[in-house]
C-alpha cells in the first residue's frame, strides 16, 4: 500500500512539476522574444509598437490558436473555444496590463490611442452582435466577418509601418538579422512549449476539483494560453519597453478575436455558452477602462494605481465566477 500511495503522490505532483517547468521555459522564451523583436524593430526602422502589435502578438497568440483549433474540431468542446478567447482577452487586459503597469507605468502612443485600443474595444462588441444576430452562436459567416476585420487591421498596420519608420539612435549598434530571427524563433518556441506544458497539467488539476468546462476555459485554459503575453509584457515592463507591453496585449486581443476566433468559427460554428454576454461586456469594460486611463493624464499613460485597479476588478470578477454568482 505504501508503494502505491507513493506512486500516486508522484503522479499528482507531476502536474505541478510540469507547471513549474512550463514557467521556466516561458520566462526564458519571453526574454528571447522581447530582445529579438526589439532588434528587428531597430534594424528595419520599425517602431516597437508595430512589432508588438504584429510579430510578438501573433507569436504569443499561438497557444490560443492551437487550443481553439483542437476545440473547434472536437464536438463537445466548443465552450472552451469561446471561453478561451474571451477569458484570455480579459486576463490580457486586467491581469497582464495590470501587472505590467504596477511594475512600470505604461505610456501609450498616439496611434495606439486612436486606432488600436478603440479596435480592441470594438472586437468584443462585434462578437456580441454576431451572437445576438446569429441564433446564439458564432457561425461560419460570422467567422468570415471576423477574419475580414483582421485583414483590415493588418493592412492598416503594414501601411503605418511603411509610412512612419522609426529613426534609430546614433549610438545604437544594429543586431544582426540572423541573430534577431533566431532569438524571435527560439522565444516563440519557448513560449508555446511552456504553455503546452502548463495548460494540460492545470486542466487536469482543475478537473480533479470538479470545476465545469466553461469555468476551466474561462480561467485555467485562458490563463495558461495568456501566460506568454504575461511573461512577455512583464519582461518588457522591467526593460522599460512599455510600448511593447501595451502593443503586445492590445495586438493579442485583436488577434485573438478577429483571427483566432474567426478561424475557429469558420472551421466549425461555435454555440454561445450561458454567460457569454456578461463575459463579453466584462471584456469590453476592460478595453474601455484602458482608454479612460490613457486619456486621464497628460502623459497618456496607465499609472500604477490604474494597474492595481485592473487587478482588483478582475479578482472580484473571478471570485464571483468561481463562486457561481455570475
pLDDT at 77 over 90: no
Q: CA–CA separation, 162 vs 199, rounded Å?
A: 38
Is residue 191 one of the residues assigned to a domain?
no
Q: How far is CA 287 from CA 18, 97, 218, 302, 304, in A?
A: 33, 11, 18, 12, 17
Q: CA–CA separation, 143 vs 135, rounded Å?
A: 14
Range among 73-82, 216-225, 289-298 rated most confident: 289-298
Domain that holds residue 127: 48-166+198-322
Is residue 186 one of the residues assigned to a domain?
no
Task: Map grid coordinates 473555444 to a residue.
Answer: 81
Which pLDDT score is estimated for 165?
A: 61
Task: Map grid coordinates 476566433 to a residue.
Answer: 261
Q: CA–CA separation, 306 vs 64, rounded Å?
A: 27
Which pLDDT score is estimated for 194?
A: 78
pLDDT at 316 over 90: yes
24 — pLDDT class (breaks 50, 70, 90): confident
Q: What is the mean pLDDT of residues 258-278?
A: 88
Percent of the chain with pLDDT over 70: 77
Chain segment 215-227, per-residue pLDDT in tens: 777 777 777 777 7
Q: Which residue has the higher pLDDT, 230 or 280?
A: 280
Which pLDDT score is estimated for 32?
A: 82
Chain segment 107-117, per-residue pLDDT in tens: 888 878 888 89
Q: Which residue has the higher pLDDT, 152 or 249?
A: 152
pLDDT at 171 over 90: no
* Grid cell of 286 as nine digits: 476592460
Q: Which residues pair with 270 in a beta bridge?
A: 138
Average pLDDT of the residues of the chain: 80
CA angle (187, 157, 84) in 5-degree steps: 55
Is residue 212 one of the residues assigned to a domain?
yes
Report the CATH number that the domain containing residue 218 is assigned in CATH. Answer: 1.20.1420.30
Q: CA–CA separation, 229 vs 95, rounded Å?
A: 10
Q: How many domains does the chain have?
A: 1
Nearest to 131 by CA among 263, 253, 225, 265: 265
Is 310 within 8 Å of 286 (Cβ atoms)? yes
pLDDT at 313 over 90: yes
Which pLDDT score is estimated for 167?
A: 53
Range among 10-14, 89-93, 246-250, 319-323 rated most confident: 89-93
Is residue 4 one of the residues assigned to a domain?
no
Q: What is the mean pLDDT of residues 268-279?
A: 87
Is residue 242 one of the residues assigned to a domain?
yes
Is residue 179 one of the residues assigned to a domain?
no
Which pLDDT score is estimated for 311?
A: 95
Is 30 within 8 Å of 231 (Cβ atoms)? yes
Is 242 within 8 Å of 236 (Cβ atoms)? yes
161 — pLDDT class (breaks 50, 70, 90): low
Is residue 35 one of the residues assigned to a domain?
no
Q: Which residue has the higher pLDDT, 287 or 52?
A: 287
Kindly report the pTM of this predicted structure: 0.75
Q: How many residues does the chain have?
A: 326
Q: What is the mean pLDDT of residues 256-268?
A: 90
CA angle (244, 28, 169) in 5-degree steps: 40
Is residue 184 one of the residues assigned to a domain?
no
Which pLDDT score is estimated for 319?
A: 87
Which pLDDT score is estimated for 17?
A: 83
Nearest to 291 by CA among 119, 47, 49: 119
Which pLDDT score is estimated for 219?
A: 75
Percent of the chain with pLDDT over 90: 25
Q: Which residues pair with 301 in a beta bridge?
A: 107
Amino acid at each position: 500500500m505504501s508503494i502505491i500511495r507513493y506512486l500516486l503522490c508522484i503522479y499528482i505532483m507531476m502536474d505541478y512539476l510540469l507547471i513549474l517547468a512550463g514557467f521556466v521555459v516561458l520566462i526564458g522564451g519571453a526574454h528571447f522574444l522581447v530582445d529579438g523583436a526589439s532588434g528587428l524593430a531597430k534594424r528595419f526602422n520599425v517602431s516597437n509598437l508595430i512589432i508588438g502589435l504584429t510579430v510578438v502578438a501573433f507569436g504569443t497568440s499561438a497557444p490560443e490558436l492551437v487550443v481553439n483549433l483542437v476545440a473547434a474540431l472536437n464536438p463537445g468542446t466548443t465552450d472552451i473555444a469561446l471561453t478561451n478567447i474571451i477569458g484570455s482577452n480579459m486576463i490580457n487586459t486586467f491581469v497582464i496590463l495590470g501587472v505590467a503597469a504596477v511594475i512600470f507605468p505604461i505610456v501609450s502612443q498616439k496611434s495606439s490611442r486612436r486606432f488600436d485600443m478603440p479596435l480592441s474595444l470594438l472586437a468584443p462588441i462585434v462578437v456580441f452582435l454576431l451572437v445576438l444576430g446569429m441564433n446564439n452562436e458564432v457561425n461560419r459567416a460570422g467567422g468570415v466577418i471576423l477574419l475580414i476585420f483582421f485583414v483590415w487591421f493588418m493592412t492598416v498596420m503594414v501601411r503605418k509601418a511603411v509610412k512612419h519608420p522609426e529613426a534609430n539612435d546614433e549610438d545604437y549598434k544594429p543586431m544582426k538579422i540572423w541573430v534577431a530571427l533566431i532569438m524571435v524563433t527560439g522565444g516563440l518556441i519557448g513560449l508555446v512549449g511552456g504553455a503546452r506544458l502548463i495548460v494540460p497539467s492545470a486542466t487536469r488539476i482543475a478537473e480533479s476539483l470538479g470545476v465545469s468546462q466553461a469555468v476551466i476555459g474561462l480561467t485555467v485554459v485562458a490563463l495558461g494560453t495568456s501566460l506568454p503575453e504575461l511573461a512577455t509584457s512583464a519582461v518588457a515592463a522591467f526593460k522599460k519597453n512599455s510600448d511593447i507591453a501595451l502593443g503586445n496585449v492590445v495586438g493579442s486581443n485583436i488577434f485573438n478575436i478577429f483571427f483566432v476566433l474567426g478561424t475557429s468559427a469558420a472551421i466549425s460554428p461555435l454555440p454561445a455558452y450561458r454567460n457569454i454576454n456578461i463575459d463579453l461586456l466584462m471584456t469590453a469594460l476592460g478595453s474601455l477602462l484602458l482608454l479612460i486611463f490613457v486619456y486621464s493624464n497628460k502623459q497618456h499613460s496607465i499609472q500604477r494605481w490604474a494597474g492595481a485597479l485592473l487587478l482588483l476588478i478582475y479578482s472580484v470578477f473571478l471570485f464571483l465566477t468561481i463562486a457561481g454568482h455570475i
